[in-house]
Amino acid sequence: MRRLGESSGIERLAAIRDEFRWDIAERFEHRAKTCSSCETPGACCLDEHFVNVRINRLEASAIRKAVGEMPDDVRSAIGARLERIDHDAEFYACPLYESGVGCLVHETAKPLPCIAHACYERPEHLPPDELLSSREREIDRLSRQVYGRGEPLRPIHTALR
């Protein structure tokens, strides 16, 4: 397998994420409640008993790159939220979500499980698990191409530390 530099990997990851976002929006989101109509905006991202998103090393690098381009005060706030999460926490409030603003990496590095999530009225309206799984396998292959080996998915707060 031909190795790929991290910057090129992050660019390809963005393309995978954009295709996935488009697919979810076109085929599934029209059946979900919009975030703007939610009675409890951000609750799904801030619920310490709900969030358990796992990412790989390449996704973490993309998020760190996006955070690195943010103003100092935003980076500091993210860092403080990361520090408050117990290292071994299985569930946690997302450190990348800011009340009143939303997902701070929504356009640049939002993880696929977060893109797939929405408030669907009925279980049959949800995107099929295989859609997410196939894209996650694609990202794993890309990560292997960048770093030369596979690595386990880790919680956002652990992967970003």
3-35 residue pLDDT tens: 999 999 999 999 999 999 999 999 999 999 887
Q: pLDDT tens, 55-97? A: 999 999 999 999 999 999 999 999 999 999 998 888 899 999 9
Whole-prediction pTM: 0.93
Give domain status of residue 93, yes or no: yes
Is residue 1, in this structure, part of any structural domain at all?
no
Q: Is residue 52 part of a domain?
A: yes
Q: Give domain status of residue 66, yes or no.
A: yes
Tally the domains of the chain: 1
> 142 lies in a domain?
yes
Residue 41 within a domain: yes
Range of the domain at 60: 6-159
Helix (H) or strand (E) holding 26: helix 6-27
**Distance, CA of 160 to chain centre:** 12
Contact predicate 66/13, CB 8 Å: no
Q: Do the Cβ atoms of 82 and 42 come closer than 8 Å?
A: no
